Amino acid sequence: MIPNTQVGTWLDIGPVDQISPGNARTLPVRGGEEIAIFHTQDNQFYALVNKCPHKQGPLSQGIVHGSVVACPLHNWNISLKTGKALGSDEGCVPTIPLKVEAGRIFLLREAVIPVPSAAKAA
Ligand code: FES
């Protein structure tokens, strides 16, 4: 997990045991990007927007190894910690601040739910 000292509202998305180690689940977001939440074999949790920076492959369906997910479409390796493509590939997918407390997973609300544009005309 990314050490997290961010201030904000945290969304409780359920118990840690809903995702077995080495797997991921998705969280649809109305009006926003689907999020992929990963549980690594060493018991860490990460959240990323569920779109590969290459051609938007569903990262949640990739293979997790260490703190990296291999995209299921063309096998780019994406860091779960930073969202960056590794090796010679370039690109980055947004990460979502996540914390685990009392056996439950929390995501930073402000990073999940899009803020309505105040600039929209009525
Ligand atoms: S879409 Fe992920 S590697 Fe191409």
Give 17-50 pLDDT, tens digit per residue: 999 999 999 999 888 899 999 999 999 999 999 9
Contacts of 67 (CB under 8 A, 6+ apart): 40, 44, 46, 79, 80, 81
Q: How many CA atoms lie within 13 Å of 98's alpha carbon, on the beta-carbon side?
A: 26
CA Rg value for the chain: 14
Polymer length in residues for the chain: 122
CATH class of 21-98: mainly beta
**Residues 122, 115: Cα–Cα separation, whole Å:** 17
pTM of the model: 0.89
Q: Answer whether 71's CB lies under 8 Å from 57's CB.
A: yes
Ligand 1 centroid to Cα of residue 63, in Å, is 13
Model pLDDT for residues 96-116, shown as the tens digit of each residue: 999 999 999 999 998 988 776
Ligand 1 centroid to Cα of residue 35, in Å, is 16
Ligand 1 centroid to Cα of residue 54, in Å, is 5
